[in-house]
Amino acid sequence: MSSLKSQLPEQFSFYCDIPLRITDLNYGGHVGNDRILALLQEARVQFLAASGFSELAFEEAGLILTKAQVELRCELHYGYPLRAAVQATNFTSKGFDLFYKLETIIDGTPTLAVLAITTMVCYDYAKKKVVSLSEKAMQQLSKQTP
Supply the CATH number for residue 40's domain.
3.10.129.10
Domain coverage including residue 67: 4-142
Query: Pick the residue with more confidence: 8 or 74?
Result: 74
Distance CA 65, CA 41 (A): 10
Model confidence at 142, pLDDT cuts 50, 70, 90, reads confident
Confidence band, pLDDT 50/70/90 cuts, at residue 131: very high
Question: How many domains, in total, are found in the chain?
Answer: 1
Question: In one letter, which amino acid is 131?
Answer: V
Of the listed ranges 5-19, 66-80, 116-130, the least confidently predicted one is 5-19
